[in-house]
Amino acid sequence: MKKILIIGGGAMGSAFSIPCLENKNKVTITEPYSKVFIKNLTSKDKFHSALKMKLPKKLNFRKYSKDLLKEKFDLIVIALSLSGIDFIGKELKDLKIKIPILVLTKGLKYEKKKGKILTISEKLNKEFKIKDISILKGPCLAKELAKKNQTSVIIANKNVNKAKKLGNMISTKYYLIEYSKDTVGVEISSAIKNIYAMIIGAGQSLNAASNLFQKSIVEMKYLIKFFKGDVETILGLAGIGDLYVSAAGGRNSKMGSYLGKGFKFEIAKKRFMAKDTVEGEQLVQEIAPFVLKKIDKKKIPLMINLIKTIKDNKKLNIKV
């Protein structure tokens, strides 16, 4: 039995606790940010408002504090959204934690001063000096995992044995783990798929969406190579696997469908998705300055078009 601390009691952090508990670990969850999730996790029946189900009684909730991070855990899992990465990086920075950290968060960070895009693990390592980082990505809808539907994900670490050790700690009959050494490729694919899911969602028929799917793969392949990942990773769970699930359903493709119908981004957000986080939009805001300056626009016309749609509030101008 290992002791696991999950930071982030949102949909994914909470769903992730289920296979961890099933694998006979002692699982503690903490929530540093959202009053709603704290309320959910401390309620008597542990009903989670995002997952729309009760969480296991064995799941232990602890109030978030920096001291909690110093306690003896065998694994710390980061399940915050991208906007929480700077926060948790700063919190972990001076603690010189030696235990493994597993990051579920998807996204990329733009370092304005250095004019560079960093993956989340690079950011945590370079800026916040966190050492032993593995990443877990792939096609996983939190609600489905929470219901114990079969789910396959990928853990990446340059030292693949470390990834396998973590996989053994958390896998179950329904939560299947694959492994990769290509941390860059896995992080890049799992982030940009949110942008391409929006683009595919803009297709107003299956025929049109399939065309956009194929063109998206070509652009994703180019981008993985640009950031020095392994192009083969596009064929894996963090690439087309995750793109499929995000394009088939979810908030990014829903926003894409409005853009494809001719709505401008700001109108669509306000009118139809005011309360929703659209991760693809957040990623566009983060990486647009870099992409527009440093990447050959002719190689990624779909992404450039979506950037203009979101940043300049223009109509999407792709053939849908």
Residues lying near ligand NAD in the complex (CB under 6 A) are found at: 8-13, 31-34, 37, 50, 79-84, 87, 104-107, 136-138, 140, 142, 153, 277, 279
* Nearest distance from C-beta of residue 201 to ligand NAD, angstroms: 16
**CB-nearer residue toward ligand NAD: 104 or 291:** 104
* Nearest distance from C-beta of residue 296 to ligand NAD, angstroms: 28
**CB-nearer residue toward ligand NAD: 87 or 272:** 87
**CB-nearer residue toward ligand NAD: 59 or 142:** 142
Question: How far is it, in rounded angstroms, from Cα 37 to Cα 50?
Answer: 9
State the number of CA atoms in the 13 A half-sphere of 157 facing the CB: 21
Q: Measure the CA dihedral 247/251/256/262, to 10°.
A: 150
What value does the CA radius of gyration of the chain take, rounded to a whole number of Å? 19
- How far is the CA of 44 from the CAs of 38, 39, 55, 289, in angstroms? 12, 10, 11, 46
* Nearest distance from C-beta of residue 38 to ligand NAD, angstroms: 9
Closest of 91, 192, 88 to residue 137, by C-alpha: 192
* Nearest distance from C-beta of residue 182 to ligand NAD, angstroms: 16
* Nearest distance from C-beta of residue 27 to ligand NAD, angstroms: 15
**CB-nearer residue toward ligand NAD: 215 or 242:** 242
Place of tokens 């899992």: 77
**CB-nearer residue toward ligand NAD: 137 or 215:** 137
**CB-nearer residue toward ligand NAD: 106 or 308:** 106
Question: How far is it, in rounded angstroms, from Cα 28 to Cα 300?
Answer: 43
Cβ pair 152, 238 in contact under 8 A: no
* Nearest distance from C-beta of residue 103 to ligand NAD, angstroms: 8
Amino acid at 154: I
The residue of the chain with the least Cβ separation from ligand NAD equals: 10
